[in-house]
A and B are shown apart, each in its own frame.
Chain A
């Protein structure tokens, strides 16, 4: 066992506590969740290493490893490199940068701390948002030599969007500017002005040197002109006031507890407010009310539970409750709507496109959602509002969203737990975005479905046919329209009621306002799919002949129909053949650069993986292909 004596930089020795002293101090301690962020090389990892080191949380064997690592990969010329204490993943230790959010735990006699250490460079901004989402306070590091950078502004903006009300601006590397008061004041002023615009309420600026330990734990002897607290002294005493228990009751139902016929409980963690047996609660989805009978826990029934408690409740009457429902105070219910406005931070390399369906997870509620309008993007460096039609990696926007089913929520500003959501890609299952709800959109509550007496079945019966949608997808010039045209003629001759929606034709009318960017292509498909759905509802057999290059939108179209109503027809003609045919001369223009975003040339065609039928139009004549389609349709129409 290495016999290394650990002495903190300031010479303090850890005092030996007795068990009773320990337990007494533990009872008093509060928890502070802290986010640290800043640009590359601002010295975040060194600062956290310094906090751990000076609070004597480095064990002898970790110290031993640290000395070895400092010699092997350290960037401090053989001296102890404190950053190595926190840079965990081997890849980043070798590159000398932090690439992922890491969580650190330390404790002083006054408080327990959970520190989310987050990366600085732009491509990992999503990880900063991750750390910010659970933090009470943010420490932003700046290099005293460089001052406020784009990254500092970006991170402040994210910190403010995610509702952190306390920011510490740690002006680091003061040793490299001769501990200049003037320099510090200039940076502090510039930052305070910027942060006020963002509405950050509490800003404290502290000059320090993580490397030398100045103003980290102990007041600095080099900066006598500074009269504020050291960083740790501030962290130990700042009041971040958690008011969740004083807000109206929100108990999101997480899991239904059915032990047997005699017990039916609803398990969840109280997001806000308090709860007692006898309290009346209203369900978000149905509006039904019931009274709480018992608050059941493993340690016995409770008379009172509050925000943060994980409980199981039983009700005095049987009402329909499922996962995702929110039990709420009847006189202060959450919003329940399918249209709302929210800030979105985008995490994915693939752009967010308005109209494209994603999965939304809000508490235990899962539903399909799309952005119905991208109102503006926020330039996080200048806070300016910018127009935009799509959202790229790390961009932030204010959007209108529309969900397939209504969800219960509060404004994020009022309740972080019930006002936040994540967006998940339907195909890759990646978490692609995070959102903070600002308000519900009124129109959602005022437009209701009008129920009509004549339905799809009645209309179809009159026509003596089974309505369906044949969705032809394939490259430009692959023969989609030709085949669809032959098919419609055959069907017409057989007495069927049909309609053919052709990509080019629809672009002359309904979609004349749309271009060929990815965002417009998505909207193009959404409108056509909705139109096809109306026609199927009218009892028609609809053929849609659209390039429809993206899997997501073909899936969106498919999801609008009943299973047996939708037939995806992939007209699989090789690009060379399409280009050779080039009936409209479009490939030639695209190759010459006269047409941008042309599918197959400079815009992708995503091959269908689950097409119901694949037609190899290069090998067979349209008539042969159509007879195969008719066979499929006959099969399709059999019960």
Chain B
């Protein structure tokens, strides 16, 4: 265990406590694995929490089929390296209907391929608890999220009617069909995540580091041309720019930033002087005021 930063050790211990509490009190938990930096940290914490055993639950990735190719490669490599069980779920109806982020708009696409896809997977496997890597500092509606967040049988979140959460006494009692979303990283901030990745030497998707990548500029965002499915407007020509990503999602919806940071420590240096919050690179948050709150009520993470 690293000797430095008592603060991060305290955060680490809090997260491990939450992971163990869910494993103890639920019949059939699952960890939602989104491949990003937060998921990497959450998975690392799970490896610690149950050591020398493996985490006593599978991982679930909701694959929208529009993730960056490097993400999928990183996912498969990570699962193989750690020897874990991974469930990959894609909303089949959505895929058959050809729902995509380009023709159907980010809101509708996200609802079908992410939110509905997630609900299908949770229902199919009858998971009664699901870990998510969300942090309270990410977005305003998340600042009020409980560590154990109750979801009705239809996966809805009722922000006005949340269970009070005192000390670290989490109420895990639910009826059949209802579930709990548990957030072990609730109290972490973006800089804590990177600081911890640095100290613990946790592998992350190479897309976080700056490199020459083929991008187009669209609505003020730099969109990477990850494969030939991205239709180009007449006036658009992909150009090579030195870019990296602060968050990772579906590639047509995720904006890159121009950067020279090629290592974790350079990312931290960049963050120290950064003036843009990390969710700015996400199209789906900007659809309408209170967008995230709405998505969460509907069951999005």
A residues apposed to B, CB below 8 Å: 1, 4, 6, 14, 16-19, 22-23, 26-27, 29-31, 59-62, 69, 72, 86-91, 93, 99-105, 107, 112, 114, 126-127, 129-130, 133-134, 254-255, 257-259, 263, 265, 267-269, 296-300, 302, 308-310, 312, 323, 347, 359, 361-364, 416-417, 420-422, 424, 429-431, 434
The answer on a CB contact under 8 Å between B173 and A359 is: yes
Identity of the chain A residue whose Cβ is nearest the Cβ of B137 in the assembled complex: A105
Compute how far the CA of A107 lies from the CA of B190 in the bound complex, rounded to whole angstroms.
Answer: 12
The answer on a CB contact under 8 Å between B7 and A30 is: yes
Within 129-155 of B, Cβ neighbours of A (below 8 Å) are at 136-137, 140-144
The answer on a CB contact under 8 Å between A126 and B13 is: no
The answer on a CB contact under 8 Å between B166 and A422 is: yes
Write out the residue numbers on chain B whose beta carbons fall within 8 Å of the beta carbon of A22.
268-269, 272
Compute how far the CA of A364 lies from the CA of B187 in the bound complex, rounded to whole angstroms.
Answer: 22
B10 at the interface (CB under 8 A from A): yes
- What does DSSP make chain A's interface, helix, strand, loop or mixed? mixed
Among B13, B137, B144, B268, the residue within 8 A (CB) of A269 is: B13
Among B4, B21, B175, B289, the residue within 8 A (CB) of A90 is: B289
Within 273-301 of B, Cβ neighbours of A (below 8 Å) are at 273-277, 280, 289-290, 293-294
B97 at the interface (CB under 8 A from A): no
Compute how far the CA of A254 lies from the CA of B53 in the bound complex, rounded to whole angstroms.
Answer: 15
B235 at the interface (CB under 8 A from A): no
Among A257, A310, A361, A429, the residue within 8 A (CB) of B16 is: A310
Write out the residue numbers on chain A whose beta carbons fall within 8 Å of the beta carbon of B171.
361, 422, 424, 429, 431
B residues apposed to A, CB below 8 Å: 1, 4-10, 12-13, 16-17, 20-21, 23-24, 47-53, 136-137, 140-144, 159-160, 162-169, 171, 173-175, 186-187, 189, 195, 220, 265-266, 268-269, 272-277, 280, 289-290, 293-294
CB distance from A585 to the nearest CB of B (A): 42
The answer on a CB contact under 8 Å between A17 and B272 is: yes
Identity of the chain A residue whose Cβ is nearest the Cβ of B174 in the assembled complex: A429
CB distance from A211 to the nearest CB of B (A): 21
Given contacts A59-B275, A61-B280, contact A23 B4 (CB under 8 A): yes
The answer on a CB contact under 8 Å between B144 and A347 is: no
CB distance from A89 to the nearest CB of B (A): 5
13 A-B interface contacts by CB (under 8 A) = A90-B290, A93-B290, A107-B189, A129-B164, A255-B23, A297-B51, A298-B48, A308-B10, A310-B17, A310-B49, A363-B169, A416-B167, A420-B167
Identity of the chain B residue whose Cβ is nearest the Cβ of A299 in the assembled complex: B1
Among B21, B52, B290, the residue within 8 A (CB) of A257 is: B52
The answer on a CB contact under 8 Å between A112 and B265 is: no
Write out the residue numbers on chain A whose beta carbons fall within 8 Å of the beta carbon of B143.
86, 88, 102-104
CB distance from A277 to the nearest CB of B (A): 16
The answer on a CB contact under 8 Å between A100 and B160 is: yes
Write out the residue numbers on chain A whose beta carbons fall within 8 Å of the beta carbon of B294.
90
CB distance from A483 to the nearest CB of B (A): 33
The answer on a CB contact under 8 Å between A430 and B144 is: no
Write out the residue numbers on chain A whose beta carbons fall within 8 Å of the beta carbon of B167.
133-134, 416-417, 420, 422
Among B142, B169, B220, B280, the residue within 8 A (CB) of A59 is: B280
Write out the residue numbers on chain B whose beta carbons fall within 8 Å of the beta carbon of A424.
171, 173
Compute how far the CA of A14 lies from the CA of B273 in the bound complex, rounded to whole angstroms.
Answer: 8
Among B4, B48, B276, the residue within 8 A (CB) of A27 is: B4
Among A19, A105, A359, A434, the residue within 8 A (CB) of B136 is: A105
Compute how far the CA of A17 lies from the CA of B12 in the bound complex, rounded to whole angstroms.
Answer: 25
The answer on a CB contact under 8 Å between B12 and A310 is: yes
Identity of the chain B residue whose Cβ is nearest the Cβ of A256 in the assembled complex: B24
Write out the residue numbers on chain A whose beta carbons fall within 8 Å of the beta carbon of B266.
19
Write out the residue numbers on chain A whose beta carbons fall within 8 Å of the beta carbon of B9.
308-309
Write out the residue numbers on chain B whose beta carbons fall within 8 Å of the beta carbon of A91.
159-160
Given A257-B52, A267-B20, 7 other A-B residues pairs in contact with their CB atoms under 8 A: A60-B276, A86-B143, A100-B162, A103-B136, A310-B16, A424-B171, A429-B174
Compute how far the CA of A362 lies from the CA of B171 in the bound complex, rounded to whole angstroms.
Answer: 11
Identity of the chain A residue whose Cβ is nearest the Cβ of B257 in the assembled complex: A1
Instruction: Output the residue of B8, B20, B47 with the most chain A CB within 10 A.
Output: B20
Write out the residue numbers on chain A whose beta carbons fall within 8 Å of the beta carbon of B160.
89, 91, 99-100
The answer on a CB contact under 8 Å between A259 and B52 is: yes
Given contacts A16-B272, A255-B23, A299-B1, contact A347 B280 (CB under 8 A): no
The answer on a CB contact under 8 Å between A298 and B51 is: yes
Compute how far the CA of A237 lies from the CA of B138 in the bound complex, rounded to whole angstroms.
Answer: 28
The answer on a CB contact under 8 Å between A101 and B144 is: yes
CB distance from B85 to the nearest CB of A (A): 16
Among A60, A88, A422, the residue within 8 A (CB) of B144 is: A88
The answer on a CB contact under 8 Å between B164 and A364 is: no
Write out the residue numbers on chain B whose beta carbons fall within 8 Å of the beta carbon of A26.
4-5, 7-8, 195
Compute how far the CA of A258 lies from the CA of B175 in the bound complex, rounded to whole angstroms.
Answer: 28
Given contacts A88-B141, A112-B7, A364-B24, contact A269 B17 (CB under 8 A): yes
Compute how far the CA of A112 lies from the CA of B10 in the bound complex, rounded to whole angstroms.
Answer: 12
Write out the residue numbers on chain B whose beta carbons fall within 8 Å of the beta carbon of A112.
7
The answer on a CB contact under 8 Å between A130 and B7 is: no
CB distance from B175 to the nearest CB of A (A): 7
Compute how far the CA of A309 lies from the CA of B52 in the bound complex, rounded to whole angstroms.
Answer: 17
Write out the residue numbers on chain A whose beta carbons fall within 8 Å of the beta carbon of B164.
126-127, 129-130, 347, 431, 434
Identity of the chain A residue whose Cβ is nearest the Cβ of B165 in the assembled complex: A130
CB distance from A270 to the nearest CB of B (A): 9
CB distance from B116 to the nearest CB of A (A): 23
CB distance from B50 to the nearest CB of A (A): 7
Write out the residue numbers on chain B whose beta carbons fall within 8 Å of the beta carbon of A134.
166-168
The answer on a CB contact under 8 Å between A89 and B289 is: no
Write out the residue numbers on chain A whose beta carbons fall within 8 Å of the beta carbon of B136.
103, 105
Write out the residue numbers on chain A whose beta carbons fall within 8 Å of the beta carbon of B269.
18-19, 22
Identity of the chain A residue whose Cβ is nearest the Cβ of B267 in the assembled complex: A19
CB distance from A573 to the nearest CB of B (A): 30
The answer on a CB contact under 8 Å between B166 and A129 is: yes
Compute how far the CA of A107 lies from the CA of B159 in the bound complex, rounded to whole angstroms.
Answer: 27
Write out the residue numbers on chain A whose beta carbons fall within 8 Å of the beta carbon of B24.
254-255, 323, 364
Write out the residue numbers on chain B whose beta carbons fall within 8 Å of the beta carbon of A269.
13, 16-17
Write out the residue numbers on chain B whose beta carbons fall within 8 Å of the beta carbon of A265.
52
Given contacts A88-B144, A100-B160, A434-B166, contact A114 B187 (CB under 8 A): yes
Compute how far the CA of A267 lies from the CA of B23 in the bound complex, rounded to whole angstroms.
Answer: 12
The answer on a CB contact under 8 Å between A29 and B52 is: no
Instruction: Output the residue of B51, B137, B290 with the most chain A CB within 10 A.
Output: B51
Given contacts A19-B268, A257-B52, contact A69 B289 (CB under 8 A): yes
In order of increasing CB-CB distance, the 7 nearest A-B pairs are A90-B290, A88-B140, A59-B277, A310-B16, A133-B166, A429-B173, A298-B51
The answer on a CB contact under 8 Å between B289 and A6 is: no
Write out the residue numbers on chain A whose beta carbons fall within 8 Å of the beta carbon of B168.
134, 417
The answer on a CB contact under 8 Å between A1 and B166 is: no
CB distance from A125 to the nearest CB of B (A): 10
Write out the residue numbers on chain A whose beta carbons fall within 8 Å of the beta carbon of B187.
103, 105, 114
Write out the residue numbers on chain B whose beta carbons fall within 8 Å of the beta carbon of A362.
169
